[in-house]
Amino acid sequence: MPLKLTLKPGERVILAGTVIKNGPTVAHLQIESQATLLRQKDILTEAEATSPCKRIYLIVQLMYIGGMTEDLSKLFWDLAREVLAAAPSTNVLISQVSTYIVDADFYSALKVAKKLITYEEELMDYATKPG
C-alpha cells in the first residue's frame, strides 16, 4: 500500500537519505516503495542536539537514514551508558531504544528516543525548580 504524503509550503523531508524541500504550494506525493522517510518535525540537526538524550536521538536518526556503522554504534552505547549512570530512571526507555537498535528497527528506536527527550526535559525541569 503506497504512503500518501502531503508537504506544506517550504516543508522539508528526508526521503531515502535525500533532503527534499517543497516549493511555495502544498505538494501531494505518493511513495510506492519502501524507503526511509523523516518529516521536518522529526528531524533534529546537530546544532539542536544540545543534551545527552537529544544526542542519542541524533545518533539513532543517523542510523535510520544511513544505516548502522561501527562509529555510530560506539557513540550510541557510550552515550547510553553515560545517561544511565547520570539518570538511572531512564533505564526503561534506554532499554527499549537499545532493543530496537539491536533489531535494526531504527524507526521504532526513534519514536522511543523522542519519548526519552521528553522525559529528560521533565527531569531537568524538576531539578531546576526552586524550593
| Per-residue model confidence (pLDDT) at position 131 | 65
Q: What predicted TM-score, i.e. pTM, was given to this entire model?
A: 0.91
Q: Would you state the cell numbers that stand for residue 25, as one nine-digit string?
A: 504550494
| Per-residue model confidence (pLDDT) at position 130 | 79
Residue 20: left (phi > 0), alpha (psi -120 to 50), or beta? beta
Q: What is the mean pLDDT of each run of 10 residues along the chain (131 residues)?
A: 91 92 95 92 96 98 94 97 96 98 96 98 88 65
| Per-residue model confidence (pLDDT) at position 127 | 82
| Per-residue model confidence (pLDDT) at position 126 | 87
| Per-residue model confidence (pLDDT) at position 5 | 92
